Amino acid sequence: MTIRTFTFAAAAAAFALSACSPKSGQGAGNAAGDGKSVKLLNVSYDVARDFYKEYNPLFIKEYQAKSKGEEIDIQQSHGGSSKQAMSVANGLAADVVTMNQTSDIDLLQKKGLVAADWAKRLPDNAVPFTGTTVFLVRKGNPKQIKDWSDLAKPGVKIVLANPKTTGNGRYAFLGAYGYGLKANNGDETKTKEFVSALLKNAPSFENGGRAATTTFTQRNIGDVLITFENEANHVSKKLTQGQFEIVYPSYTILSESPVAVVDKVVEKKGTQAAAKAYLEYLWSVPAQELAAKLYLRPRNAEVLAKHKADFPDIETFKPNEKFGTWEEIMKKYFADGGLVDQLSPKK
């Protein structure tokens, strides 16, 4: 059995090399075709790498036990969620996609790669775990950051992923905007002023959630990192104990991590059964326990209750309830000329 982690560039290169052969017609992660082994490529978002690094061995053990020893090779590709979706849309032969926005999988559905009923094929609308957006600050919280409003104050330096190209950044932007609407009783003008002031404190955007983490924790840039709850916990409790603290906003956004089989790819490669099993196992108790261990909020109520101390009760909102469908959200906020462009400081 083999587990490999690809960067986006490596996965794209693998696809490009295979595409050069007119006889191949196959990309990275193809089934061996000998009936005794199978290869899967999971194309995923940036900060999910820690989860799948531990999940894959769990699944392989289960798969081999049920298939009586059939070998399985799982490859990983990680990057900004929407960039990853575009790479699949442009030909990267992913058997499964595990993203952090439904819009990224909807894009693949519109391209004819994923079935229209993808969200109904698995429990919980194909979302095995959820999370939220929080703040990571330096030990002692020297800027005394307690809520979104503090991020708009002069002198606060913010680090976040690019809202136009990454799910991590989009949830951060929508979290701030949703808070602004609530704090300003729905006043759009005041909310835009607040978000504009917040973005002014973020002089540049990072390429992905993990890149933002590296900038904040290793390059020591910024006073606060806006990121997913699991990433903040991973950094503060496992990688750099005692150096950082997590701040939970009073009102923040609920993030969901949808998954889907890339039907067009698995039909061509004959990997349907393995790909389906790979995603279904995300709802198993061992996988849900792993999610909780890595600070992703499990959908299994019993597992979540068992780890209640790790997941503070906070008031959250779903982006679709406040801003419309993801298609509407993408057009209004994140398309060229949208609100992110309008509210960001002119470079």
CA atoms within 13 A on the CB side of 270: 8
- Coil vs helix vs strand at 41: strand
Residues 10 and 89 in one domain: yes
Confidence of residue 176 (pLDDT cuts 50, 70, 90): very high
Token pair listed for 120: 């109904």
Residues 221, 330, single domain; the answer is yes
| Count of structural domains, the chain | 2
Q: Give the per-residue pLDDT at 23.
A: 30
Environment class of residue 336 by beta-carbon count within 10 Å: exposed (0-12), middle (13-18) or buried (19+)?
Answer: exposed
pLDDT of residue 36: 66
Residues 334-345: what's their mean pLDDT?
95
Select from 101, 181, 185, 187 the least CA-distant residue to 148: 181
Q: What is the Cα 335 distance to its own chain's centre?
A: 19
* Token pair listed for 188: 């759009």
pTM: 0.84
Segment among 32-41, 94-103, 118-127 with least mean pLDDT: 32-41
Residues 6+ apart with CB under 8 A from 301: none
Percent of the chain with pLDDT strictly greater than 70: 89
Q: Which of 113, 44, 36 is nearest to 76 (CA)?
A: 44
pLDDT of amino acid 15: 30
* Of 12-26, 54-68, 122-136, the least confident: 12-26
**CA gap 134, 241 in Å, rounded:** 18
Q: Which residues contact 250 (CB under 8 A, 6 or more apart)?
A: 147, 148, 179, 314, 315
Instruction: Tell me: pLDDT of 30 over 80.
Output: no
Write down the mean pLDDT value for the chain. Answer: 89
Residue 203 and residue 222: Cα distance in Å, rounded? 10
Residues 16 and 155 in one domain: no
Same domain (yes/no): 174, 318: yes
> What average pLDDT does the segment 308-333 reach?
94
196 with 238, same domain?
yes
What element of type H or E holds 71?
Answer: strand 71-79
Q: Would you say 53 and 272 are in contact if contact means Cβ atoms under 8 Å apart?
A: no
Q: At what angle do helices 81-89 and 8-19 cross, to 10 degrees?
A: 0
Read off the CATH number of the domain in which 324 is found: 3.40.190.10
116 and 136 share one domain = no
Dihedral angle of Cα 297, 299, 304, 309, to the nearest 10 degrees: 20
Q: Domain of 266?
A: 2-128+257-309
Based on the domain organization, do 228 and 150 belong to the same domain?
yes
Residue 13 has pLDDT above 70, yes or no: no
Q: Same domain, yes or no, for 332 and 217?
A: yes
The answer, yes or no, to whether residue 24 has pLDDT greater than 70, is no
For position 347, what pLDDT does the model report?
Answer: 55
Structure confidence by residue, pLDDT tens digits, 210-246: 899 999 999 999 999 999 999 999 888 877 778 999 9
Residues 287 and 338 in one domain: no
Q: Quick one: how many helices (H) and strands (E) in the chain?
A: 16, 12
pLDDT for position 82 = 84
Is 9 or 300 the better-scoring residue by pLDDT?
300
Which of the pair, 70 or 113, is modelled with greater confidence?
Answer: 113
d(CA 111, CA 92): 13
Q: How confident is the model at residue 26 (pLDDT cuts 50, 70, 90)?
A: very low
* Residues 180 and 282 placed together within one structural domain of the fold: no
Buried b / exposed e along 291-323 (16+ C-beta atoms within 10 A): bbebbbbbbbeebbeebeeebeeeebbebeeeb
Instruction: Name which of 242, 263, 227, 234 is nearest 108 in CA terms.
Output: 263
Q: Are residues 223 and 251 in the same domain?
A: yes
Task: Measure the CA dihedral 293/6/279/123, to 10°.
Answer: 70
Domain co-membership, 151 together with 236? yes
Task: Give the pLDDT band of residue 34 (cuts 50, 70, 90).
Answer: very low
User: What is the arithmetic mean of pLDDT over 169-178?
Assistant: 97
Evaluate if residue 16 carries a pLDDT over 50.
Answer: no
